[in-house]
A and B are shown apart, each in its own frame.
Chain A
Amino acid sequence: MTLRQTTEPGATTAPGSARARLTRFAAALSSPSSERRWLLWPPLAFFAVMLGIPMVALVVTALSGEGNAFAEIFQLNVFVSALIRTFVLALIVTAVTVVFGLIYSVGLAVAPSWLKWILLAWLFLSLWTSVMVRSFGWMLIELPLGALHWFLSLIGLSEVKIELYQTTVGMYPAMIAVMLPFAVLPVVAAIESLDREQLRAAVVYGAGPLLAIRTVVLPVVRPALISGGVLVFVMSLGFYVTPLLLGGPSNMTISGLINTQLNTANRPDLAAAMSIVLVAATMLIYLVADRLFKVSERWG
């Protein structure tokens, strides 16, 4: 039987239950400090060096410009709008990807075995193709006389005018496809771990599909969905080439702007300030979401 691990004794569901009391007892009995030290310090030390030094360098760069880089970037209309645009974009991509990912992973589980292999193969083929090249593949599909047009002509619909390339609608399929594996694979792993006996029991005792999904499947899958969603959201904030290529320059994201400041304008201070703001905003949103939706606790 699965039971949610309580990171904080008695803080989550059923604080008064026997199980929670037991856990609290366990926490008091064992001395977890030594194991925590051994497990936590190596990654933290690694972070401190390999993330700490570049971050310090970033802050120094942001502050070493002639003026106040932070004040300057917030006066740039393009920056503020790009920042908002990027977060909206990431939100849309995440929402659609998580829903699609759930469907896809359930489909993987229940499809006949030959189809299951095909669906898995598609997933991995996509994951292993460079994002740059894949975006290019989408370009070839979406061009007015591209692959989609070719296919429609095959089935006698050559008159249909395709207006996808460099539209806001045209960039989403590509981004969702890029993110899909990251939402699917965690859920697949969770579904694999579903308790078979429990599932059978649900069927035997006549639980309808919706009830069974809600009570048996969802609790196990939810942490995986959340972790996939977190990955997808944060990764989506970094989109740059795909929206520029398929959405057109009016869909410029924050990464694109950072690159321009660094490459063409040679204003590393502005690029650094923008990066810091992006990271800070991401962390802030994550922490707020964590408070509101209890991401951490549900995540695991």
Chain B
Amino acid sequence: MLKNLAGTARTRRYSRVLAGGIATAATIALLAGCSSSDAAPAASGTESALSGSVVVADYGGPTHDARATAYFDGFTADTGVTVTSADYTDAIANAQLDGEAGDYDLIQTSTDTLLKYQDNLEELPADVPRGDLLPENIQDYAAGAFTIGITQGWLTDTFSDGGPKDWADFFDTTKYPGKRAWPGSAGSYDASFEIALLADGVAPEDLYPIDFDRAVKKLNELKPDMVFYSSYPEVQQLLSSGTASIAVSVTGQFTALQRAGLDVTVQWNEAFLSPNFFVVPTTSKNKENAFALAKAMADAENEATFTTATHYGPALSATFDLLDADVVSQLPNAPEHDKAIQFDEQYRADNLDTYLDTYTAWLAQ
């Protein structure tokens, strides 16, 4: 009884304070709005019709630096539009992909996400060259694309016979002893189920629809020999410290180890290819700038600079002509890596929940 009384009194007080708070916040917002519009930089001196800025959400790091050098710096010099880098935040990006408001103009994402949220994305204007190496159904939306690989890699001197040839070898711990570095964060199930099925003898063309039970059973076999990483860069520590003998990871991590002076072998056979790119959400506030940047990124010469720096695969076939042969051999989508496998991205988009829940449950057990 007493509690009830206290409860209602509290609620009433709460709503009053809430109202007051909103009013205060509105005032602050008004003030902040005024000052920020004053501070906005004036249009550039060039003849370009564009001005202002464009907010690009990516994952930072060396890839971002390469992107800035290859694309952004020249773009800003040409158009006067500043490129603002935002640290990719899933919840903000997801809200925008869902069609809600947000600050991002270009969001880094992958194919399954694009397919899932296509309705809330802007189609690129006709004058933006399409990435002809990309799957056709995403070409109209994907800007600044680059193809990453998900595959196994190891320090070359770990195995004298050249190392595992395929995923069946990867699961064979007598032939290739040592721990396997494996993605351990629930959200990054990556190619886990596909890899397990290939190791279990499923042919690449029969992977889909995924037999999750079978995949989990196969994964359980290897689980005692796995060491998990909760973020990709840990792969570098796990391999270089000798904790793991082989790692499954995005190929950028192997490239980083090579850059640090280590001799790393990457197995391209049965590697999974995953195009990553930027999309423009319909709620972008600087669409014209975003499209202009998309155009600047769809330039073979710029892309060659980016590709040489990152060893991620290009989206324009013309770029291959501009690359050195030793760079080409490192690229996930190099013509010589013809045993690489494409995900069924539509299936992955449609079954995202099953992937995630199954993987979470498997990790937690």
Contacts and interface: CB of A to CB of B under 8 A. Distances in A.
A198 B254 CA distance: 66
Interface in A63-107: 76-78, 81-82
Interface stretch (B17-25, B208-216, B316-324, B333-341): B17-25
Contact of B20 (A45, A248, A262, A266): A45
Nearest to B355: A264
Interface stretch (B154-162, B183-191, B298-306): B183-191
B288 interface: no
Contact of A139 (B185, B237, B242, B365): B237
Contact of A78 (B20, B22, B364): B364
A264 B357 CA distance: 11
Contacts of A10: none
Given A45-B21, A260-B356, A266-B98, A145 B363 contact: no
A49 B227 contact: no
Contacts of A245: 230, 234
Interface stretch (A18-26, A215-223, A250-258): A250-258
B186 A256 contact: yes
Interface of B: 14, 17-18, 20-22, 24-25, 90-91, 94-95, 97-98, 184-188, 227-228, 230, 234, 237-238, 241-243, 352-353, 356-357, 360-361, 363-365
Given A49-B21, A140-B241, 18 more contacts: A48-B17, A49-B17, A49-B18, A50-B21, A52-B21, A56-B18, A78-B357, A140-B237, A244-B185, A248-B228, A249-B186, A252-B186, A256-B186, A257-B186, A259-B187, A260-B360, A263-B91, A268-B91
Nearest to A251: B364
A165 interface: yes
Contacts of B242: 144-145
Contacts of B17: 44-45, 48-49, 52
Interface residues of A, number: 38
Contact of A250 (B94, B187, B230, B365): B365
A255 to B, nearest CB: 12
A81 B364 contact: yes
A53 B227 contact: no
Contacts of A260: 185-187, 356, 360
A165 B227 contact: yes
Residue among A48, A77, A145 having the largest count of chain B Cβ atoms under 10 Å: A48
